[in-house]
Amino acid sequence: MRDSYRNERGSPFTISNLGTMDEETLNRLAAEALLEEAKVGARRAEIMGPSGWIKPKETINKRFLHSTLRNVVLSNKHRTSKKDKTHECKTQRDTNDKK
């Protein structure tokens, strides 16, 4: 779908300045966008059959996902090792206190 349209005079406007438009223009743009989406779906349906009406899945940002997961795992390892060290220190103190 397009993110830039042209008004009656032919000058472009974008999604970011839709808040300054009157309601009639917004309704017209919404109707155009829905019709365009229906046309694209119909074209896909001609080629792929009924499943063509289903929108394709959006791809994920794999680089971001891998980086986030890696950092979470490292953070959890760090937190676990820190917790183990604290537990060992408490255990040693308890053992020394009992003697």
Q: How far apart are CA 91 and CA 81, in angstroms?
A: 15
Give residue 86's domain range. 59-99
* 52-83 tens-digit pLDDT: 888 778 888 999 999 999 999 999 988 777 76
Task: Give whole-number Cα distances, 39 to 19, 24, 34, 89, in Å.
Answer: 26, 23, 9, 68
Domain count, the chain: 2
Distance, CA of 19 to chain centre: 23
In a shared domain, residues 49 and 13: yes
In a shared domain, residues 41 and 68: no
* 2-36 tens-digit pLDDT: 445 555 555 555 666 656 778 899 999 999 999 99
In a shared domain, residues 77 and 49: no
In a shared domain, residues 49 and 63: no
In a shared domain, residues 15 and 31: yes
In a shared domain, residues 39 and 72: no
Q: Which residues pair with 5 in a beta bridge?
A: 13
